[in-house]
Structure 1
């Protein structure tokens, strides 16, 4: 099966420090504007919240083993996708809001993603020492 590559793609690698959250969010706003997806689109606000939460989790939980966090942004005419990658070996599960993170964090990510008819997937690195959490939201 051929892999479909969205026409728009941007990759950002940052130190795993608190300011990464702001930079990742501002970069998302910028690339979405460049790609013609206005900030008033109903998926943009929740997407920025989800992105902020995922980068915050990487900063809080992965910084000791992952000095950098990478954010991949991609878009097509009908979808916006982004991934947050770190090199921490922990592989979270994303089953509904029952993530063991009651009331925040990944539970919020999953709830918002599902409410927007999107998908959330954890992809383990080939060596098992890192992962990416991919979010895809329809536009």
Structure 2
């Protein structure tokens, strides 16, 4: 997937403190980047992408802040694809599986949404095993 991201012509990287305000800033930055890249905010993929991004950043804020004072958001887009990633320095690598109807929530709900939209998601550990990135790609 990283090779695919590198081929996308539009990219933006944002590093933020791992605190609650990061969710709002990451979403607002995504909106600005999408408009700059010619993806209108009324595009049917934008609201789901912002929801997914918000959940990924929220997870880092809730679960990684003690070990990761910063998180990084990577945005990328091309003519037919949008990619988002959230990186933190917490070593836990979550399983990306759809939620069971009875439990719902969190990354499981994100996975259901991603798969329902025809997208993909992967969790990648850092080379040193002390951090990870969650990458999501969605069709445009």
Q: Aligned equivalents of 1:3 and 1:92: distance in 2?
A: 21
Matched with 2:108 is: 107
Gaps of 5+ in 1: none
Q: Report the count of equivalent residues.
A: 137
Gaps of 5+ in 2: none
Aligned to 1:70, what secondary structure does the other structure show? strand
TM-score normalised over the length of structure 2: 0.93
Q: Aligned equivalents of 2:6 and 2:134: distance in 1?
A: 18
| Deviations 1:56-85, CA, capped at 9 Å, x for gaps | 000000000000000000001010001000
The root-mean-square deviation of aligned C-alpha atoms, in Å, is: 1.7
Runs of 4+ in 1 over 6 A off after TM superposition: none
TM-score normalised over the length of structure 1: 0.94
Matched with 1:56 is: 58
